Amino acid sequence: MYQTRYHRPGSVAEAAELLSKAEDGRYVAGGHTLIPTMKHRLAGPSDLVDLSRLSELKGISEKGGTVTIGAATTHYEVASSDAVRKAIPALAALAGMIGDPAVRNRGTIGGSLANNDPGADYPAAVLGLGATIHTDKRKIEADDFFTGLFTTALEEGEIIVKVSFPVPKKAAYEKFHSAASRYALTGVFVASAKDGAVRVAVTGAGANGVFRAADIEKALSGKASSDAIDAVSIDPSGLLSDIHGSAEYRANLVKVMAKRAVDAIG
């Protein structure tokens, strides 16, 4: 690891201030991507600004049909939250599927979303539920947030403060684990909103990261049954291909996981 300066700010404003002054600074929350990268000397930020202890970024609340989760909330806290389990059980279940207990006790929702790993689970829930990302500067709708592999609509220095999820009528997440890393080789989040609209978000499979499966959404809008997905054809050309799975295999998994999610909703 290269030498770096570690900062523990007292507020979101101070964090942004520290980063803006740093020569080549990075925010760190759970650190599950950044710290291993630094240990391998593949990243060498001059300054690390720790967001994980900021009280402004903590906490879970449910009010008026919306679940709001602070950006520095750990996966474990989401998975074990009574409020989340009651309002959006699929979201709690998703958080409980991330990595292993060590990861879940350090990793945060804000960190996961800002990093936007193509195999990460949270992007599927955020996009599938049509959540809103609140930053220290603005609100960003899920459909506008994820812009490509490891890239988001966040501007330099912008900090995710919280994420608000509209409580759906029903939702389910089905994940096919990548055997080695436990990331999603393909994960499909299906949500049926209170107004009846169905959203289907796919993580792990897309060549440009998380995406909404428009054809599946369309098929389900007529008939919310897994059989409706059989006729959908998923084009592998827009999907990832790597040593863990070809695009064709991922295309199959998109359908299989989507069907299972629909069946889980019942």
Q: Which stretch binds another protein (CB under 8 A): 45-53, 175-183, 188-196, 210-218?
A: 175-183
What DSSP assignment string belongs to 102-121? Answer: HHHTT-BHHHHHHHT-TT-S
Helices (H) and strands (E) in the chain, counts: 12, 14
Cβ proximity to another protein: between 50 and 249 the closer is 249
Whole-number minimum distance, CB 166 to another protein, in Å? 31
Cβ proximity to another protein: between 56 and 117 the closer is 117
Q: Of 187, 199, 42, give the one whose Cα is nearest residue 119.
A: 187
DSSP code of residue 209 = S
* Site for another protein, residues 229 to 258, rule: CB under 8 A: 243-246, 249, 252-253, 256
Tokens 């506008």 appear where? 144
Cβ proximity to another protein: between 179 and 231 the closer is 179
Q: Which positions ≥6 away from 243 have C-beta within 8 Å?
A: none
Whole-number minimum distance, CB 160 to another protein, in Å? 25
* Site for another protein, residues 11 to 40, rule: CB under 8 A: 40
Q: Of 222, 66, 203, give the one whose Cα is nearest residue 130.
A: 66
Whole-number minimum distance, CB 248 to another protein, in Å? 8
* Residue 14: CA count within 13 A, CB half-sphere: 12
Whole-number minimum distance, CB 255 to another protein, in Å? 9
- The secondary structure element, H or E, covering residue 15 is helix 12-21
Whole-number minimum distance, CB 114 to another protein, in Å? 20
Cβ proximity to another protein: between 58 and 244 the closer is 244
* Site for another protein, residues 176 to 215, rule: CB under 8 A: 176, 179-181
- 128 binding another protein? (CB under 8 A): no
Cβ proximity to another protein: between 180 and 231 the closer is 180
Cβ proximity to another protein: between 180 and 222 the closer is 180
Kind of pairing, strands 60-63 and 66-70?
antiparallel
Q: Of 71, 37, 31, give the one whose Cα is nearest residue 49.
A: 31
Residues making contact with another protein (CB under 8 A): 1, 3, 40-41, 176, 179-181, 243-246, 249, 252-253, 256
